[in-house]
Chains A and B, each alone.
Chain A
């Protein structure tokens, strides 16, 4: 309602601006296809204004005092408790900064990476819609709105992965991502509804401030976690992320490393202060996190496609974040938030580097690449710095995050704390190893000289432009600056933690002194270095090791199972035989209406007719109905069915219902015309009816439904309650403004039903058109084939009707 919009916008201009921002994104997305025709790939420079505006907004909002948290909402569907309400606290600002900051750079990068083409406008528009939904997702306070934005990111991710829709791998990758994250999203919706019902509110802040308890809540938490784990590609739902690498690299850099996959982590972070002690939370989150950390790292070590190395590395890093937020203490949350930022920065930069390499040399196979280090010093430097940050080498941003992670996990006092610490250290060692492998593979000398790729262009012949590398260079510089000057980013992290926990005054710092965390870091780096040094031995071990159960195969098998199951069910339910369809319908009717009647029903006194006219109409109906069942000519049967209808119309008229009579009369007339047109295509006569044993069930069904119809009709006549009609009659003119009650009911009282009915009518008409169209096409196709006879083109309508009429 317009009034409430104004009410919302006036008191809190900053939050209201967020609504305007998102609307602006969507408008820009609408304009993008036109702009693209004009500007070509340079349209990204315009599109970058959207995340840039968000970044500016975020910085402005961050300048307010931290306690100043506001909730602003627009009521959307009040009946469902669905508001679009935004709540901007420290964690939201952290996420917004990540989404918009990396967004600007990715858009600038895409201007060099993408080429003009027919799909470019759609691509830009989808990227903008994604950015808008990501902003909405991290700022929304209403659970249902969170779900809405969550699904929007899944759908835009689907569209973006499938950008090259003429490639089968891109299409199936997009579908896989949509199916897995979509299924997770549905589970999450179930969890949200359970939580909302238990808490009596769909406001996330209210829910987290006063979390409900009980079995339903424990189930709900598991459902929400399934959503989070699928979105963040955690074991065993991770198989979609490597397949999503078929997307253009800006998509991989933005959605599948720095933002969308963080949505699950974000949700876990939000919920952990309230629900970390609930039921299966810790086993589930930490189990999936440890599995992802180790399996992702292990798999990353054996990939030869640079993008796949990064994909598995993302799974692994997200696993570590899951562990940190899943444990759910103030210190681990601090570490998690730091890692979230650090990972976004270095991983987006690394993806951009792979995109540059792929774009220029036309390969990203680390076995083919050769001589890049000498030819492209800037790219190599960016890759080395970012990979070192990923490996957690000092003095980079990634090192700070890893130190915080190890220190906070080491402080967990429980019995499983030590084993968790060992897992994290092992994961860090794997990270060091695959980071080294990435840099060595991309920029080092060619590893296996036998592999040749004829598309491959040597790096020294295709040096990338400075603009192409600049966005990645900015991110690499950020890894250094935030590492050397933690104060530049520490405030944002502290504020994010402060919005969820009572802070203890812990600060982000490069040097915490000689402590256990530093020692474990040294262990991890040494072990990772050893793994890299002995890489041929490691490869040999990996090749000979027994294959782990593959999540990809699991996905394929379950997809096949679902489709096969649907096939079987359709085969049983949609049998295709008209007698069986009719039999099911009539039996259901006879049992459904007949069984209650067995309990006894009060029948009014039986009268033959209320008037002589009625008697005449009745006789006509009965005779025509019996005739329709007995005649052998189809055409005659059609006419007789029409006569039954006309008799009914007469009956309505006698009872004083002119509207019904008119409609019935017209429908019958039109029905006969259409029937006649159809009958032209059918044999002139029905097959002869001979009573056989196999027809006994049909006779039983027919008799039973006839008897039930008869008794029900009689019973309706013996109504005891006041008729509905009286109320309608009284209300028709004052409320509906019409004297014709039937019409007022149709267009006003039950207007919504009418809307549904005409929609059904349209759909039925479309169905007829497509069925007849198919038949025509088949017939046309079968004409040239001489001697095939009528079998191939036999119309479905003829066969089914002929059978049914028997």
Chain B
């Protein structure tokens, strides 16, 4: 049974990439303006949730052909490495360094090593959301048993 909404699907198609761009903007701008890796990752996750809601789990899998575990692991690894690298350079854990650059078209920019850490956070948030969508959204639910049966069998029953 096709219960998808054509309108929703079309809207999502229109705004999906904009949302991803916004999420990247939040990630990059986060150090000086509202945003950051956490918020950026959440926006990206919301974009994927929209795609999921509009076109179903298969479309989501086509959009992000990467295993959520890989995204999670990469994020954690990036954050950990960024945290540890300063130790090997004689600094302390999570020390940061920054480079100021004049990018011709984009103007004066400062790139901080903090960005790498924030990217790790971004990826972990994104991976967790992907995993949740995939795990809970995968299969259509089975018909749920009647309420009475559920109540009588689970009420106050210790579960081991």
Chain A residues proximal to chain B, CB less than 8 Å: 1, 571, 574-577, 658-659, 662-663, 666-667, 669-670, 673-674, 677-678, 680-685, 687, 736-740, 742-744, 746-748, 751-752, 754-755, 758-759, 761-762, 764-766, 768-769, 772-773, 776, 779, 789-791, 794, 796, 798-800, 802-803
The 4 closest A-B pairs by CB, nearest first: A576-B159, A666-B42, A738-B31, A677-B136
- A670-B129, A755-B83, A802-B154 as given contacts; A682 in contact with B39, CB under 8 Å: no
Q: Do A758 and B75 have beta carbons less than 8 Å apart? A: yes
Residues from chain A with Cβ under 8 Å of B149 in the complex: 790
Interface centre among A738, A748, A772 (most CB of B within 10 A): A738
Q: Do A737 and B98 have beta carbons less than 8 Å apart? A: yes
Chain B interface residue count, Cβ-Cβ cutoff 8 angstroms: 68
| Shortest Cβ distance from B115 into A: residue | A747
Our pick among B53, B79, B96, B133 for the contact of A748 (Cβ within 8 Å) is B96
Q: Do A800 and B141 have beta carbons less than 8 Å apart? A: no
Our pick among A746, A762, A791, A794 for the contact of B124 (Cβ within 8 Å) is A762
Give Cα A683 to B143, complex, Å: 9
Residues from chain B with Cβ under 8 Å of A666 in the complex: 39, 42-43, 45-46
Our pick among B76, B121, B124, B159 for the contact of A800 (Cβ within 8 Å) is B159
| Interface set, chain B 51-97, CB cutoff 8 A to A | 52-53, 68-69, 72-73, 75-76, 79-80, 83, 90, 93-94, 96
Q: Do A659 and B128 have beta carbons less than 8 Å apart? A: no
Interface centre among A658, A674, A736 (most CB of B within 10 A): A674
Residues from chain A with Cβ under 8 Å of B127 in the complex: 762, 765
Chain A facing B: main interface SS: helix
Residues from chain B with Cβ under 8 Å of A571 in the complex: 160
In the assembled complex, how far is the CB of residue A32 from the closest CB belonging to chain B, in whole angstroms?
27
Residues from chain B with Cβ under 8 Å of A669 in the complex: 46, 49
Q: Do B136 and A748 have beta carbons less than 8 Å apart? A: no
In the assembled complex, how far is the CB of residue A762 from the closest CB belonging to chain B, in whole angstroms?
5
Give Cα A798 to B37, complex, Å: 33
| Interface set, chain B 103-123, CB cutoff 8 A to A | 110, 112, 114, 117-118, 120-121
In the assembled complex, how far is the CB of residue A759 from the closest CB belonging to chain B, in whole angstroms?
7
Does any Cβ of A come within 8 Å of B131's Cβ? yes
| Shortest Cβ distance from B122 into A: residue | A758
Give Cα A748 to B125, complex, Å: 18
Q: Do B31 and A737 have beta carbons less than 8 Å apart? A: yes
Give Cα A765 to B125, complex, Å: 10
Give Cα A523 to B75, complex, Å: 74
Residues from chain B with Cβ under 8 Å of A685 in the complex: 147
Residues from chain B with Cβ under 8 Å of A746 in the complex: 36, 38, 121
Give Cα A684 to B147, complex, Å: 8
Q: Do B150 and A758 have beta carbons less than 8 Å apart? A: no
Q: Do A798 and B34 have beta carbons less than 8 Å apart? A: no
Our pick among A674, A751, A761 for the contact of B117 (Cβ within 8 Å) is A751
Give Cα A751 to B145, complex, Å: 47
- A659-B35, A674-B136, A759-B76 as given contacts; A790 in contact with B145, CB under 8 Å: yes
Give Cα A680 to B139, complex, Å: 10
Does any Cβ of A come within 8 Å of B135's Cβ? yes
Chain B residues proximal to chain A, CB less than 8 Å: 26, 30-39, 42-43, 45-46, 49, 52-53, 68-69, 72-73, 75-76, 79-80, 83, 90, 93-94, 96, 98, 110, 112, 114, 117-118, 120-121, 124-125, 127-129, 131-133, 135-137, 139, 141-142, 144-147, 149-151, 153-160
In the assembled complex, how far is the CB of residue A656 from the closest CB belonging to chain B, in whole angstroms?
11
Q: Do A677 and B137 have beta carbons less than 8 Å apart? A: yes
What is the number of contacts between chain A and chain B, taking CB atoms within 8 Å?
Answer: 185
Give Cα A674 to B49, complex, Å: 9
Give 14 A-B pairs besides A772-B136, A798-B144 with Cβ atoms closer than 8 angstroms.
A575-B159, A673-B52, A736-B96, A738-B112, A740-B30, A740-B31, A743-B31, A748-B94, A751-B117, A754-B79, A758-B79, A761-B128, A769-B135, A794-B150
Q: Do A663 and B42 have beta carbons less than 8 Å apart? A: yes
Residues from chain B with Cβ under 8 Å of A663 in the complex: 38-39, 42
| Shortest Cβ distance from A686 into B: residue | B147
Q: Do B35 and A662 have beta carbons less than 8 Å apart? A: yes
Our pick among A670, A736, A739, A766 for the contact of B49 (Cβ within 8 Å) is A670
Q: Do A755 and B110 have beta carbons less than 8 Å apart? A: no
Give Cα A755 to B117, complex, Å: 9
In the assembled complex, how far is the CB of residue A663 from the closest CB belonging to chain B, in whole angstroms?
5
In the assembled complex, how far is the CB of residue B73 from the closest CB belonging to chain A, in whole angstroms?
8
| Shortest Cβ distance from B31 into A: residue | A738
Residues from chain B with Cβ under 8 Å of A575 in the complex: 158-159
Residues from chain B with Cβ under 8 Å of A769 in the complex: 69, 131, 135
Q: Do A683 and B124 have beta carbons less than 8 Å apart? A: no
| Shortest Cβ distance from A764 into B: residue | B128
Residues from chain B with Cβ under 8 Å of A662 in the complex: 26, 34-35, 39
Our pick among B43, B114, B124, B156 for the contact of A758 (Cβ within 8 Å) is B124
- A739-B33, A791-B153 as given contacts; A674 in contact with B121, CB under 8 Å: no
Q: Do B128 and A762 have beta carbons less than 8 Å apart? A: yes
Residues from chain B with Cβ under 8 Å of A683 in the complex: 144-147, 150
Give Cα A382 to B75, complex, Å: 61
Q: Do A765 and B72 have beta carbons less than 8 Å apart? A: yes
In the assembled complex, how far is the CB of residue B36 from the closest CB belonging to chain A, in whole angstroms?
4
Q: Do A737 and B35 have beta carbons less than 8 Å apart? A: no
Q: Do B35 and A743 have beta carbons less than 8 Å apart? A: yes
| Shortest Cβ distance from A793 into B: residue | B142
Q: Do A670 and B35 have beta carbons less than 8 Å apart? A: no
In the assembled complex, how far is the CB of residue A479 from the closest CB belonging to chain B, in whole angstroms?
51
Q: Do B159 and A799 have beta carbons less than 8 Å apart? A: yes
| Shortest Cβ distance from B149 into A: residue | A790
In the assembled complex, how far is the CB of residue B154 from the closest CB belonging to chain A, in whole angstroms?
4
